[in-house]
Amino acid sequence: MKKILALIIGVIILIAGLYYAFIYYVPYSEGVRSGELIKISHKGVFVKTWEGEISQGISGAQIFAFSVEDKETNVISNLQKFQGRYVKVTYKERFGTFFWLGDTKYFITKVEEEVSPHFRGIKPKDEQ
């Protein structure tokens, strides 16, 4: 009886480990989006995660919600620096997520400031 119980527990742990590895390491898609960075926050009660939003369109017609992993410190600091500006973000989409990683399936891996297509020819304040 103990051997069967140990085997069942071992199989459950193996399946859970494979599921976690699949969700975490296998990207569903990878891509780039751009828009005005309207929100970046560190939120949660017991587990804090970095969450943000990009407005893609005029007057927030389409919102792209994303998460950032805690280990991406450079991305987090750049997002905080570019708050309210037009940015281009590189992301990876996962099949799912876990509560300690973030609220969305989209995880930002790189962020760059861009020139807004609405204000072409106008330089940002730090370039004037």
CATH code where residue 47 lies: 2.40.50.140
| Cα atoms in the Cβ-side hemisphere of radius 13 Å centred on 118 | 11
What domain count does the chain have?
A: 1
84 in a structural domain: yes
At residue 127, the pLDDT reads 58
Q: Is 69 part of any domain? A: yes
Predicted TM-score (pTM) of this structure: 0.79
How much is the mean pLDDT over the chain?
88
pLDDT score for 45: 87
- Could you give the CA distance from residue 11 to residue 15 in angstroms, rounded to a whole number? 6
Q: Which helix (H) or strand (E) holds 51?
A: strand 49-55
pLDDT of residue 121: 60
